[in-house]
Structure 1
Amino acid sequence: MPICSNMRSAHLKCWQKHRLTGSMRHAMGSEARQWQWVLDVEVCAADWLAKETGLSKGRVKDAMNKGAVLLKRGRQPEKRLRRATFRLLPGDRLALNHDPEILACTLEQTPVLISEQGDVLEVYKPVGWLSQGSPWGDHLSVERWLQTQGYPDARVVHRLDRETAGVMLYARRRHVAGTLNQLFQNRRVRKLYLARVAGHCPEPMTVQEPLDGKSSVSHVRPLIKQDPALVEVDIETGRFHQVRRHLAHMRLPVLGDPRYGEGNAHPDGLHLVAYRLIYPWKGQLRDVRIPESLMPPWSIAPDA
């Protein structure tokens, strides 16, 4: 069974496959396939999938257990179908997204529940884990991990890149998720990152370069000024890859970032961690940090 521990892992393919189209797709050079059906009979789910795809019953059950089978019934929300004996009905819409490499992938480090604040779960997400599942499965998502750890209704509130470790919030109830979402939207949550960058950073700076046509603000504070500098980044907005893009814009690309910057390659992967998150909850200001034992070796956590 492959161990996927770096940014070239099988889960990188997972994100790439989101862009494929068609009712059945073959990933070039791989065994990845996608099927979609509208049922016209009543039948056992695992039996139907095995018959229609040619996969063994064991492989079908494994895909179902790992969240790679999606069911849409009538006006009900789409859900992951995990029970092999589930009875499918005429009119059901079924999809199977099967990539043997992704389904066989495991990760050495598991998430950590830092603290439980009633219906709010403060969690450490390691590198390689998804914030929530993709159409290709959810067995390597923090959301699913929480659901298997005694929190069956855990739901994602915000997201963090797969290749970035950090503090995340999950909600145990729908209305709590809505409340937390409002805090993020109203910029009442401080999100602080540590990054090791290629270059010197002699003084603090504020980056206001718009991203994707939207205003974006990042405050950068050097903790180690000499190359490679260690910086803390406090973001006011939450644009796609904001920290990485803003630092690259300032010619301080994050070490190990394969997408942004030049001269910043590193064999140990992305040197970026969302190490601290501050948010108001029930009349108190929660200041959540990654436990020191889980901080990456290249980082030095600043004092509060």
Structure 2
Amino acid sequence: MHPRVPDPLGSARLQQARLEEAETQHLRLQPEHAGRRLDQVLAELLPAFSRSRLQAWIEQGRVLLDGHRSRPKDRVRGAEQVLVQPLLERVGDCLPQAIPLQIEFEDEHLIVVNKPAGLVVHPAAGHPDGTLQNALLHHAPGLAELPRCGIVHRLDKDTTGLMVVARSLLAHRSLVDQLKARSVKRDYRALVVGAPSVSGRVDAPIGRHPTRRTAMAVVASGRPAVSDYRVLVRYRRHSLVAVQLQTGRTHQIRVHMAHLGFPLVGDPVYGGRSRAAAEAVRPELASALGAFPRQALHAIGLGLIHPASGQPMHWQIPMAADIAALCALLQQDMDGEAR
């Protein structure tokens, strides 16, 4: 059990709002940005900040485009200089909560956690508390000083596995830059319905689904998204696949694998739940597949450059227990069929 850092104030006063100036950002827009909205481009270039926050800074004059104020909806030419002067609010509404954390690594710059299924990363509509962010603030109160409490990437609520959190401004800037440069290695295991080719790359843009606003889809107007995969184990009607993300779009692996025709087992949004049980033969296996409560996706490996030492670091954890148990049943089913 990792030792817990107590909240020195022991009250919500630690989270009272306080405004802070953060480091000024100097950006140069590129030709591929031409014709897009300013707020949309900034959200892509500065993923540590929410689009709504960036819009507010634009309206407050804290964003200058070639030295001039602009509006969030203004279209850019693709060669401008952009100056962003962030104004950060200390976390006010997200309070520390004593939620257990499984910490794989921790120092003064980084926290690497193994997120369980069912834990939402940020407070949002329907999940005002009880999130990873609440747990992190209890464990390390100083995270309240960082953008999004040091959280620089996310996992879906029901996806398990490794996430890295910045614990210092140095680490925050470094991790955001590494994510932007696509140098952070994120390895996943996905149990899918069907038999994909041995390996491949999915290079297909992802955006909001045209009719289902809570879902994502491969759409021509979406943001670039690239996933590399290879099949590790083939079962009779399912496959265990290793996936490495080259980009980090919402629901990326789930959308890309469904786009190929191989949805994740248990995925209620992209078709894996209904197909998995329907294609099973043995009653025990069909029952297990039908009752699997989440998309079968696990962030098993994480690699990055340490922000302070410059040394490469890598973490790997075991397969999530529920996915491992389901794979064991699939293996038994295949072995039984072979006899």
Per the alignment, residue 115 of structure 2 pairs with 125
- Tell me which moved more, 220-229 or 135-144: 135-144
The aligned counterpart of 1:204 is 199
In 2: Cα distance, 1:112 partner to 1:151 partner: 17
Aligned-pair identity (%):
27
Aligned to 2:313: 286
Give the secondary structure class of the aligned counterpart of 1:148: helix
In 2, Cα distance between the equivalents of 1:117 and 1:296? Answer: 30
Alignment of 1:25-104 (within 5 A): 77=89, 79-81=91-93
1:113 aligns with: 103
TM-score by length of 2: 0.55
- Pair 1:208–1:113, CA change in 2 (3 A): same
> Is the 8 Å Cα contact of residues 276 and 288 (structure 1) preserved in structure 2?
yes
In structure 2, relative to structure 1, the CA distance for the partners of 1:125 and 1:169 (3 Å cut) is same
Runs of 4+ in 1 over 4 A off after TM superposition: 69-76, 135-138, 291-295
Could you say if the C-alpha distance between residues 247 and 81 of structure 1 is closer, same or farther in structure 2, counting changes exceeding 3 Å? closer
Q: Deviations over 1:160-219 (max 9, x none)?
A: 111111100111123321211111111010111101111113411111122122222111
User: Deviation string for 1:120-168 (max 9, x for gaps)?
Assistant: 0111111111222236665422222122124542521211111111100
Q: For 1:1-304, what aligned pairs fall within 5 Å after superposition?
A: 77=89, 79-81=91-93, 110-134=100-124, 139-153=129-143, 155-212=150-207, 213-226=222-235, 227-261=237-271, 263-264=275-276, 266-268=290-292, 269-281=294-306, 282-291=309-318, 296-297=323-324, 298=326
CA contact (8 A) 2:160 2:320 kept: no
Query: Does structure 2 retain, via aligned residues, the 8 Å contact 1:143–1:155?
Result: no
d(CA) in 2 for partners of 1:246, 1:296: 20
For residue 199 of structure 1, what is the amino acid of its counterpart? G
Deviations along 1:227-273, whole A, 9 cap, x unmatched? 21100011111111110000001111000111113614632221111
What is the number of residues matched between the two proteins? 212
Q: Which ranges of structure 2 fall in alignment gaps of 5 or more residues?
A: 1-10, 21-86, 144-148, 208-221, 278-289, 329-339
Partners in 2 of 1:148 and 1:70 — Cα distance?
Answer: 15
- Structure 1 residues 121 and 72: alpha-carbon distance in aligned structure 2, compared to 1, 3 A threshold: closer
Q: Which letter maps to 2:117?
A: V
Question: What is the one-letter code of the residue matched to 1:225?
Answer: R
What is the TM-score of this pair, normalised by structure 1?
0.61
With over 3 angstroms needed to count, the CA separation of the structure-2 counterparts of 1:138 and 1:152, relative to structure 1, is farther
* Greater helix content: 2
